[in-house]
Amino acid sequence: MQSSNRVTLKDFSLVILKNNELLDSIKDYFYQNLIHDFDEDKIFSCDIKDINQQLEYLETKYAIVIQEGIFFFAHIDNNFLKSMIADIPNYALIGHVLDRKQRYYHLHPQHFIINVKQWLEVGRPDFECKAKNDLINIVRAEENYHHDYTPLWIKADPSKSVSCDKMKFGGYVISELLKNGYNIRPFNSNERHIKKFVYYDISEQVSSMLSYEKLHPHSYYYPVSTSQRKSKFVNQYNNYISVANGVESLKKILNVYKNVKTITFYDVSITALLFTELLIKTYNGNYKEFVQKFDQNYNGRMWTTLDLQDNDYSIIDSYDTSEILQVVKHIRENVKVNYRIGDITRTSILEDIEENSLINLSNVFEYEHNLIRNSEWPYWLSKIKDHDFDIEVLR
């Protein structure tokens, strides 16, 4: 029942599964790094529980399904998909197929490619099905890609059926496709190595992101101030835009934070965004412990600006963070916070402001790794004057 029809990129839709466990900064980084040439009318997004309905809606023969938090080293279509497209007609399903032992086989939702037409033909088997008595028995390779649940191949054993009442995502789909004579294979080694998924646990997300090979080589974060500037905002405005320099960005609003309703952090460093997001979401008052955990448990050490000769972090003892916890608690309870990868000096950010706002630039016009020219500072200030409302800027 295998197809020999030639497949082109026009035969695919892109379906993005929401990952509700993903940190906001990583989610933004995911979308900004998702490079593709799919037409807008072939891109869809849904919750994982709605994948059945979403696939039924598609008009293309195939769907490439990805979950928020997966990163490709190049274009998902013109690189990843194009490299394997000749092999796709031979399979109804290609993905991370995992042998979950007593829980049958599992299709990991991070990324898979499915022949939608064949899925429909076999009766639209439910991806979320948890229990079945007539699953096809599966034989698998003795070899694994890494752990003992990652077989190099699987195939149907029609001589008997098995039962399972604790199936994971995609198990019933795997069974029905195999039962009807279609082939399924796991992603091979090359396909696995040109993408990265950060998973769900926060510590695993952050450590995976900070060990991502494509991360900018100057993705620093600032656990202590590198500037002598002590200025703070004085205007009681609702909107705050800032670089993601952690404690310093919160110190800037010490006198006005109770009036802030929205904060948007823009930074060219995903590390700085992650550090700031975790500070706001998890900080409990012990700053040295917080920094040590970020460095040692989350792979942050290679990105720090601290000159650490040892691991005691004593340099942080003299850094004043005494008033930050009150600001953090207020933000958690009262403020909408956005984390955006990108250069804060882009004038498009100014053009999108629609209310009186506070802007903390820190040293971005002097940051040696930016592409910003110092002469652009007067031009940037001139753009502020185009607004009918007030913008307070600190450097």
CATH 3.40.50 segments of the chain: 202-394
3-class state of residue 265 by DSSP: strand
3-class state of residue 153 by DSSP: coil
Identity of the highest mean pLDDT range in 38-47, 72-81, 301-310, 382-391: 38-47
Q: What is the dihedral of CA 217, 219, 221, 226, to 10 degrees?
A: 70
Quick one: what percent of the chain has pLDDT higher than 90? 81
**Mean pLDDT to the nearest integer, 295-303:** 94
How deeply is 315 buried, as exposed, middle or buried, from its count of CB atoms within 10 A (0-12, 13-18, 19+)? middle
CATH 3.90.550 segments of the chain: 9-197
Q: Give the whole-angstrom CA distance, residue 380 versus residue 344.
A: 11
pLDDT digits (tens, 9 = 90+) for 184-241: 999 999 999 999 999 999 999 999 999 998 898 889 999 998 777 779 999 999 999 9
Q: Give the whole-angstrom CA distance, residue 247 versus residue 244.
A: 9
Q: Which of 322, 273, 316 is nearest to 291 (CA)?
A: 316
Maximum pairwise Cα distance, the chain: 77
Q: What is the pLDDT of residue 366?
A: 75
What is the band of 383 on the pLDDT scale with cuts at 50, 70, 90? confident
Asked if 150 and 192 count as a contact pair (C-beta separation under 8 A), the reply is no
Q: What is the pLDDT of residue 41?
A: 95
Query: Which CATH number is 202-394's, of 3.30.1460, 3.40.50, 1.10.3470, 1.20.120?
Result: 3.40.50
**Mean pLDDT to the nearest integer, 349-367:** 89
Of 14-28, 75-89, 240-254, 263-277, the least confident: 75-89
Of 24-28, 76-80, 266-270, the least confident: 76-80
CATH architecture of 9-197: Alpha-Beta Complex (3.90)
Q: Give the whole-angstrom CA distance, residue 86 versus residue 6.
A: 7
What residues contact 272, with CB distance under 8 A and at least 6 apart?
A: 219, 220, 221, 222, 243, 244, 245, 246
Asked if 198 and 26 count as a contact pair (C-beta separation under 8 A), the reply is yes
Q: Give the whole-angstrom CA distance, residue 63 versus residue 48.
A: 14
Asked if 214 and 73 count as a contact pair (C-beta separation under 8 A), the reply is yes
Q: What is the pLDDT of residue 395?
A: 83
Q: What is the pLDDT of residue 256?
A: 97
Q: Which of 120, 107, 90 is nearest to 175 (CA)?
A: 107
**Is residue 3 over pLDDT 70?**
no
**Is residue 157 over pLDDT 60?**
yes
pTM: 0.93
pLDDT digits (tens, 9 = 90+) for 72-129: 998 999 889 999 999 999 999 999 999 999 999 999 999 999 999 999 999 999 999 9
Q: What is the pLDDT of residue 367?
A: 66
Asked if 155 and 162 count as a contact pair (C-beta separation under 8 A), the reply is no
**Mean pLDDT to the nearest integer, 132-151:** 95
Asked if 387 and 353 count as a contact pair (C-beta separation under 8 A), the reply is yes
Asked if 300 and 271 count as a contact pair (C-beta separation under 8 A), the reply is yes
